[in-house]
Amino acid sequence: MSRVPAYAELHCSSNFSFQRGASHADELIERADQLGYEAIAITDECSLAGVVRAWEAINRLRKDQPARGDDRPLVQLIVGAEFHLQDGPSFVLLAPSRAAYAQISRLITRGRQTSPKGQYRLLRRDCDQLGECIALWLPDAAPSVDDGLWLASQVADCAIAVHQHRCAEDEPRMARLQSLSQASGLRCVAAGGVLFHDPSRKALHDVLTAVRLGKTVHDSGLDLLPNAERHLRQREELASLYPPAMLDEAVAIARRCHFDLAQLRYDYPQELVPPGETPTTHLRHLTEAGLRWRWPDGVPDDVRRQIDKELTLIAELRYEPFFLTVEDIVRHARSIGILCQGRGSAANSAVCYAIGVTSVRPENENLLFERFLSKERNEPPDIDVDFEHERREEIIQYVFNKYGRHRCAIAATVICYRVRSALRDVGRALGMEEEDIARLSKTLAWWDQAGELDPRLVEQGFDPQAPRMRQWVTLTQTLTGFPRHLSQHVGGFVIAERTLDELVPIENAAMPDRQVIQWDKDDLESLGLLKVDVLALGMLTAIRRTLGLMRNFNPDDDYSLATIPPEDPATYQMIREARTVGVFQIESRAQQNMLPRLRPQTFYDLVVQIAIVRPGPITGGMVHPYLRRRNGEEAPDHPPQLESILGRTLGVPIFQEQVMQIAIKAACFTPGEADQMRRSMAAWKRHGGLTHFHDRLVDGMLGNGYTREFAEQIYHRILGFGSYGFPESHSASFALLAYASAWLKCHHPAAFTAGLLNSQPMGFYPPSMLVAEARRCDVDVRPIDVQHSHWYCTLEPRDVDGQPAIRLGLLQVSGLSREAGDTITAVRGTQPFASVDDLARRARLTRRDLRVLADAGALQSLAGNRHAARWAIAAQTPDTALSMPRAEEPPADLLPPSTAEDVLDDYHSTGLSLRQHPLSLFRERLAARKVSTATELLQMADREHVRVAGMVMFRQRPPSAKGVMFMTIEDESGSVNLIVRPRYIENNRDVVLGARIMIVAGEVQRSGSIVHLMVEKIIDITGWYADLPALSRDFR
């Protein structure tokens, strides 16, 4: 029996060759290992985006190898990429060394950065620095020897790739390439040109080809592969297709490739270190200066010990330049008046607090530095810094300008197919009717999984078992989760000491003046590469604007975030009553429901409040025990040895740090081991792997005298954190902003509401609900008026008492440019406008500007009503003559618009109305149907049956709610919170997800001051006011 030949696949594309590769990188790695390949090269087209995932798959195989009981060598990963020159040959480059990898990465960067996003352009002259690489020439149908010789002259070694795919061209191609080899002196090597791991993916590849070409599969013809041979094949089969020398050559090339991604080393910038100092001494210097600033009366001993411990570990791991870089960015932001605050695990660091990156005082919170950084974890720290969302771009450009675009870029985000987008693309590729595609995709909600399509098909009258439907569903399920393209991370910056593209390719982002690397945050974390997150937070913008409005209205109200009075009783009273619309982090339905039950009275209560309404504590069964203990209904039952860890949360672990501290103290984990357990519990639902920690934790606790019942209880609660829980440091950082925004709302509601409106889009509620809430707080809100409004909302004194009223700003006018708004404000400063004609001439407004102002009711003080304003605009001369004086036209004899027309125009043009709520227009009709108001509902008894009606303001379906949907509807008297059961949603999807105005019948659920309506029936009455725009903010 002949020996099965060794083989290495040197030409293979993953699905990061978008719409070309039809398998995930890990599928390719695992299949190559099963087939006994020596190596496999991932060679996506002008991309290294998939190589980290392939590398992780190799590492998983290595980790699992002992369990397999198989001592054969694992498949080796070779890093490479495929290129097609515009003026030259096509080829694959492989990286035998770190230097060759850098050359490939730079070439990809060069091709991507000279082209629009998603494309690349390379010429021969771009290939002048590839001397360390191995090349596989991919000859076309009529190859030129000169192309091969040119390519060979650019690289360390070159061979001719020979593809054999069991088609009619195989034999003549083999002869042609062997002749080419003789003429050029280049060796031939077996290569598969692999596009999928298994022949079953051929159908998906056909679909991807059709999608790429914008055709159907039926019309793609010869653009489709003739068969399924572009998969990873058995070595016996390859031996029947290739001469032994070509297979041997593939193995020989693979054995020369020793580069591993683990060889990548990353150095953070050093230029922030002044002459004569080292990174270690400079960070110490900044920290000491910060300690004097933070504690002018002396540093507490425990803080001093913590600082010394942190600085020692930071120095040992050589992370000082990273901390210095973040400090520099934060210092620059504050120097130009941008509010910012660090959060996340970084708030566990006393050093971060001392140098001004975070705001959580270490002596006030139960912080655990190892949650942020530990030696055992051997991973870089993660520092998230929030900046005002409207000014974050200034910080991003500061980073680019300071370090240079050759040294920094933003991490990628991989945009993947979701069920709906996969369904559409597959449907079009299969030639399904557009109407059927639209009908079916419209029924899908964001939570629908690819495996749950059959019920949707039945709903729409399709037979799920029909062959064509089955193919549509099956291919949709396979395509779901495939990468579609690279986008940019919300703010993760990678900054290098040297040229970044030697580490990872860089390409253009869709946004101007942005560039992204080809790896996402998970790739960076896997490789231990540092990033700093420059994030945007709308609440910081709103707070800064609120403080400015207060200061402008009354110079005595001169506050900053640091000087807002702490522990204010009135603020906590407002919070306990759940009057928190617009307040950071505690404005959601779930938070508002919890507030009257938890009843926060101190800042630490607020820290708990923010953390407890998370999937982790909910699924871990921590919420109800904590509330019962807080209300005195049961006593804490934790062992006294854990009082320092669990005492403040009444024996219930609510924060991630507590879980780690229990493992350290009760089960003798090292801090690094405890953090590894935390990271494992965050991923256990996806990957499993907590059994080891269960045994280690329980046995350790038993060995230290704890009961098995208590140990198992702790482990069960640890599992809850696999559904997402907050570290205490992160919750404390958010609580600072939650308290600040609550204090502003409590004591300065007009300024706070104006600040929120001026910072849109942000937050949980639409502007209409923010304005309604302000009016409930006795704030006067005045309409948009070109005679009084500025671009932003402003404060004006009320005639009655001089208290601030809100004047809505021109920014609320949909379609009005900022330039036009600023011009109106500027020219009005000389004298008020006398008429619409005067406004048009002096502000040089276009007809379009005038029309949107009229639609918004902003010309009412000049024209009387919308109809008159529109008539005046229609009488205007053409735009080019607007600056010429003209005689006043007599007013037209027009009827004013009805209230219903005005309200509708208000919502269309500004998203809100100060006149009447739309539901009030139908109150008689609703009363005839025995529909109660939201206010009347609040007076009803538990379990009473009632009908209410309202506009849908938002829908939520949190993962921890087991399919239940929470909705809020609003009428003229207030809002109603609805609970919709999963079965009702499934049976009434169209009305639940599609209705904008509804009548709801249900049963009142009352618990103290908390009132819900359990939905029994929904009637869609959107048709009563069909032109009213959708206002709902869904699934935030």
- Provide DSSP, 714-778: HHHHHHHGGG----HHHHHHHHHHHHHHHHHHHH-HHHHHHHHHTT-S-SSS-HHHHHHHHHHTT
Can you tell me the distance from the alpha carbon of 289 to that of 355, in angstroms, rounded to the nearest whole number?
Answer: 8
- DSSP string for residues in 410-425: EEEEEEE--HHHHHHH
* Residue 214: Cβ-neighbour burial (10 angstroms; 0-12, 13-18, 19+): exposed
Can you tell me the distance from the alpha carbon of 19 to that of 925, in angstroms, rounded to the nearest whole number?
Answer: 55
The pLDDT assigned to 3 comes to 82
Q: How far is CA 227 from CA 417, 642, 690, in A?
A: 26, 65, 44
3-state SS, 107-151, equals HHHHHHHCCCCCCCCCCHHHHCCEEEEEEEEECCCCCCHHHHHHH
The pLDDT assigned to 891 comes to 56
Alpha helices per DSSP H over 465-534 = 467-479, 521-527
The pLDDT assigned to 721 comes to 67
Can you tell me the distance from the alpha carbon of 215 to that of 300, in angstroms, rounded to the nearest whole number?
Answer: 70
Q: ω before 636 within 30° of 0 (cis)?
A: no
Q: Calculate Rg over the CA atoms of the chain.
A: 33
Within 10 angstroms of residue 738's Cβ, the number of other Cβ atoms is: 26
Within 10 angstroms of residue 462's Cβ, the number of other Cβ atoms is: 19
Token duo for residue 983: 């079965």
HSE value, Cβ hemisphere, 13 Å, CA-based, for 734:
23
Token duo for residue 115: 């082209």
* DSSP, res 932: B
Can you tell me the distance from the alpha carbon of 815 to that of 854, in angstroms, rounded to the nearest whole number?
Answer: 12
The pLDDT assigned to 366 comes to 62
Region of residue 55 (left: phi > 0; alpha: psi -120 to 50; beta: else) = alpha
User: Which H or E element spans position 837?
Assistant: helix 836-843
Can you tell me the distance from the alpha carbon of 901 to that of 906, in angstroms, rounded to the nearest whole number?
Answer: 9
Token duo for residue 88: 């030259």
Tell me the domains of the chain and their CATH numbers: 265-403 (no CATH), 559-738 (no CATH), 811-910 (no CATH), 922-1025 (2.40.50.140)
Token duo for residue 267: 């150095």
Average pLDDT by stretches of 10, the chain with 1036 residues: 86 97 97 97 98 95 78 92 96 98 98 93 96 96 92 96 92 92 95 97 97 96 94 96 96 98 87 91 96 92 90 90 92 94 80 90 67 67 88 93 92 93 95 89 75 78 88 94 92 88 93 90 87 92 97 94 92 95 92 92 94 76 88 90 90 85 88 76 56 84 91 81 70 92 98 97 89 94 96 94 95 95 92 91 91 95 90 68 46 77 92 92 92 92 94 83 87 92 89 92 87 94 87 72
**493 residue type, one letter:** F
